[in-house]
Amino acid sequence: LYGGSIMAGTWRGKQVAVGDVYEAIGAAAAGKITDADLAELEAVACPGPGACGGQYTANTMSMLMEVIGLSPVGFNSIPQMDPEKHRAAERVGKLALDVLAADRRPSQILTRRAFDNAIAAVAASGGSTNAVLHLLALAREVGVDLAIDDIDRISRRTPLLCDLKPGGRFAAVELHRAGGIAVLTQRLIDGGYVDGDALTVTGRTLGEECESVKETPGQEVVAPLPRPLRTEGGLVVLKGNLAPDGAVTKITQHTPTSHRGPARVFNREEDAFAAVYAGRIKPGDTVVIRYEGPKGGPGMREMLQVTAAIVGEGLGESVAMVTDGRFSGATRGLMLGHVAPEAAVGGPLAALQDGDIIEIDVAARKLAVENVDIAARLKDWSPPEPHYTKGVLARYALLVGSASEGAMLKP
């Protein structure tokens, strides 16, 4: 059972969530709002306990767990402060005893069919790119053959249906008011994008669990199948000479899908944020943050500070970002992460220099640098000194694998 989303904040007549605060920091730096405006927004954006209030990483993973079959249908979208959450917890406790008595195991539920269903749900909801890492890692843990290209393939055939923050209009609580995650799941079953015969933790199929869904009349959170927000889902995997093993981005109905511009290269998130905050990033630039991957970080930090500052300063339509780090689920705009191989192991990002022209083409699934002999530049490259030479983070950096395989520890 998922703890539940926070309730939506309200600021000057519109719903807001924590992602709006991060973007407002950039807006304040650009003089678009005052410090008083920012303080007013900060005071109302998070009105109580619960997970971040959009289709960010926590709510994405709660949806994933319900559609993959590990969480019972109907409970995860209940907000944290809704009295119904306590009743749901009691029912889940009883279900846990039933599961033990029936000897029902995760290995019976976590089949390839279940993973395909989960990918489709994340893609259709405009969910967080962090789900890609979790799906790949979970699949390897249970012995299911799943590759990063499979995620792109399934997303490409699945329509984007949910109009949820950060790319859409509505806070996460509105999905529950619309009828819950099962409204989306039933849509996807009806369209043939999700297999309703997959087993769930209750012992019933996903289709059986969703049969009784009650969609709120007139709701606008989940689009009807004939009128999707986009004909393709939100998860996109790009490749090219900058990302031979893949890079991941999230595309919603408002995201730019192409960009060509000079690289502005940074070796740390903090340096990139300082440049954005100081107004040194200009329209057309491609911000590159490297050495932030699983090994290089170590730990693959999220770049929300930078992405939110870019959007907040009004550059979300004209500046793209490329990193071997990852993103918060609150990120929006043309932001490409999880670039593999990462710079710390001599991946192509390590060869980039300021001014190199980077091309991003979502339709062609392409991420490339123009007119650069990457191999020649890398002959003179040597890895930077590690941030940690002892302790758990040093061990982690030695053992962690590629983001394109879920950033799992080896062996």
Distance between CA atoms of residues 311 and 281, nearest Å: 12
Q: What is the DSSP letter of 216?
A: P
Distance CA 392, CA 389 (A): 9
The secondary structure of 220-256 as a DSSP string is -SB--TTS-SBSS-SEEEEEETTEEEEEEEE--TTS-
Q: Collapsing DSSP states into helix, strand and coil, what is residue 34?
A: coil
Tokens of 306: 């930078």
In three-state secondary structure terms, 205 is strand
Q: Give Dmax (Cα) for the chain.
A: 63
Cβ count near 25 (within 10 Å): 20
Query: Scanning the structure block, which residue is given the tokens 């399934």?
Result: 154
Is there a contact between 45 and 18 (Cβ–Cβ < 8 Å)? yes
Q: Judging by beta carbons within 10 Å of its beta carbon (0-12, 13-18, 19+), is residue 103 exposed, middle or buried? A: exposed
The answer to whether the peptide bond before residue 411 is cis (omega within 30 degrees of 0) is yes
Which residue, 340, 320, 329, is CA-closest to 149? 340
Q: Is 382 a catalytic residue?
A: no
Q: What is the DSSP letter of 199?
A: B
Tokens of 181: 């995650």
From the list 5, 155, 328, 404, the catalytic residue is: 328
Kind of pairing, strands 235-240 and 243-250? Answer: antiparallel
Number of Cβ atoms within 10 Å of the Cβ of 107:
10
Whole-angstrom distance, CA of residue 78 vs CA of residue 50: 11
Choose among 290, 168, 289, 277: nearest CA to 222: 168
Instruction: Write out the catalytic residue numbers.
Output: 328
